[in-house]
Amino acid sequence: MIIRPFLYDIKKTITSKTVLILVAIILLISLAIIPLTSIRSSGSENNLFEAPILYYHDPNLGSYHYLAYFSNRYGDPISGVTVTVILQGPQNYTKTVVTNSSGLAFIAISAPNASYYVTLKEEIPGQNFSTNLPPTATIKTSTPGAVMALNGQVISPVVDKHNASKSNIQVFYSGDYGVVPSSYSLYYKVVATPFSCFSNCFTEANMTKLGDLSDYREIFDPSIPPGLDGTDEVFFTLFNQTGTAVQSSNFGLFQLRQPPQPIMESNIASSFFSTILGLVIPLMAIIGSYSSYGKDRLTGVLESVLARPVTRRGLAMSRFFSTVAAFTIASAAAVGVVDLVLNSVGGSFLDQSYVLAIIAGLVVEVAAFTGLIFLLSHLLKSTGALLGISIVLFIVLDFLWSLIIFLVTLALGGTGGSFVALQATFYSYYANPAQFLNLINAYVFQSSNTAVQASSLGVTLPAIVLDGLLWTTVPFILFLYLAVKRD
């Protein structure tokens, strides 16, 4: 019977002016991640990974040839990289080229056959690298014009654009004399640890073909069977037309199929979620709870509804769940916007399980603050007192919490930055619903973001789930008790 009033309450909460303004602010802030992402991604997208460098010597032309391929972590080519090769020997030679739209740089230096020290310089705006390549005299090729890999990985993992937790395999290679490779094939084999398979396993006959190389650079998507251990290895070998292995690489399975790692987008997202959303969502929940229940209860407006055929429990639950539902929708929308922005700029969506974890965290924060404000509205006597205490609660839990914990740690004899201080910070997150997203981020990124493993500080999945359940239910149950049993 109260479905329509419940829907009306959701609509009323979500369309109230203050909430609309806050939702608009959240969405605008979500959009503000675009420049942030652009700035960060210009670094990440065009970050100069250790570019693979191929080399061959053409004795007929008397020239030294270097091929370089520059790509980002997705394997997308980076054009406009200035590449300079310097030969230092009896005489010095320098050649500078700029990578083309395919990210390729072909550098040919005509120089007499001699022993040269080789320096490679790479430059894009804001970044400048210099690498020493092997001296020409040390490079021994089987046949004239045969290609050698000097630097970087010819076979390397690159992040899948559509699934950040998965990596594909990029191959950069060239035929003899720098021609477009043909009749080269990539094979792979998953080997369980401990290894029971050695060199005889890595032949065309014993490996699975991934595909042929039809250009200097190709990306392959290896099919990895599920259920393997993260420590298992995947071996890749590039065979030429005669079946000879010309390049090999192997990667731990965890490098190819891994839980969300602290990739740049995730870092941006986690910072955004824990700082911006972690700040605004509690504020929104407080304001929304005040206007949807606290104010109505303390001014007596709620009685005009309570006089209808509805139980106290029914009305209390309707208002609570409509408020939580309204802000869950708003929070999910904000997370969705962030994910879309990151996808449009960075090319990949955030890991789904991470997104779900963040939304679940936001629901916990919303439910906890809604429950607290609803509860306070039964303990206080005036709207002024409710507003005042709500604001104090928000400031303490959102702004002053870290400072308070720091001071408490100092007072107890700890020092800032010590393990004890870190421990106190993490434990304090459990006591503060506004820090719940920090717990989730700490858990998700625990293996790489913190020097000290978060699990050793008590940030474990069962503890987070239990904490979330407590924050979701305890304030709500206390509020419900007072709503049903007291005027």
Partner 1 sequence: MIEVKQATKVFSSRQGPAINSVSFEVKNGEVVGFVGLNGAGKTTTIRIAVGVSLPTSGTVLVDGHDITNEKAAASKSIGWVPEIPNFEPNAKALTLMRYLAGFYGIDRTEARNRSKDLLASVGLSGFENRKIRTYSQGMKKRFSLAVSLLSDPANFLFDEVLNGLDPEGIHFFRELMRGQKRVNKAILLSSHILTEIENIADRIVFIHRGRIIKTVTREELGAYEGVRGILRIILQNPNDDAISYLKTLGGSLQVQGNEIVLSDFHGDSSQVNAELVKKGIPVREIKFEKTGLEEYFFELIKSADAGK
* Residues contributing to the site for partner 1 (CB under 8 A): 1-5, 8, 296, 299-301, 303-312, 314, 485-487
In sequence order, the 6+-apart residues with CB closer than 8 A to the CB of 162 are 348, 349
Q: Which helix (H) or strand (E) holds 165?
A: strand 163-172
Dist CA 64 CA 96 (whole Å) = 13
Our CB check for partner 1 shows the closer of 3 and 451 to be 3
- 166-179 burial by CB neighbour count: b if 16+ within 10 A, else e? bbbbbbbbbbeebe
Q: How far is the CB of 380 from partner 1 (least distance, A)?
A: 16
- What is the number of H-type helices and E-type strands within the chain? 16, 15
Our CB check for partner 1 shows the closer of 115 and 311 to be 311
CA atoms within 13 A on the CB side of 167: 23
The string of DSSP codes covering 70-126 is -B-TT--B----EEEEEEESSSEEEEEEE--TTSEEEEEEE--S---EEEEEEEETT
- Are 368 and 284 within 8 A, CB to CB? no
Q: How far is the CB of 479 from partner 1 (least distance, A)?
A: 16
Name residue 386's amino acid.
L
CA atoms within 13 A on the CB side of 173: 30
Q: How far is the CB of 379 from partner 1 (least distance, A)?
A: 16
Q: How far is the CB of 312 from partner 1 (least distance, A)?
A: 7
Our CB check for partner 1 shows the closer of 12 and 161 to be 12
Q: How far is the CB of 416 from partner 1 (least distance, A)?
A: 48
In sequence order, the 6+-apart residues with CB closer than 8 A to the CB of 134 are 118, 150
Q: How far is the CB of 292 from partner 1 (least distance, A)?
A: 10
Dist CA 230 CA 238 (whole Å) = 24
Q: How far is the CB of 19 from partner 1 (least distance, A)?
A: 13
Our CB check for partner 1 shows the closer of 214 and 299 to be 299
Q: Which helix (H) or strand (E) holds 234?
A: strand 233-239
Our CB check for partner 1 shows the closer of 18 and 352 to be 18
Our CB check for partner 1 shows the closer of 145 and 314 to be 314
Q: How far is the CB of 6 from partner 1 (least distance, A)?
A: 9
Our CB check for partner 1 shows the closer of 17 and 140 to be 17
Our CB check for partner 1 shows the closer of 260 and 294 to be 294
Helix, coil or strand: residue 315: helix
Q: Are strands 148-151 and 104-110 parallel, antiparallel or unpaired?
A: unpaired
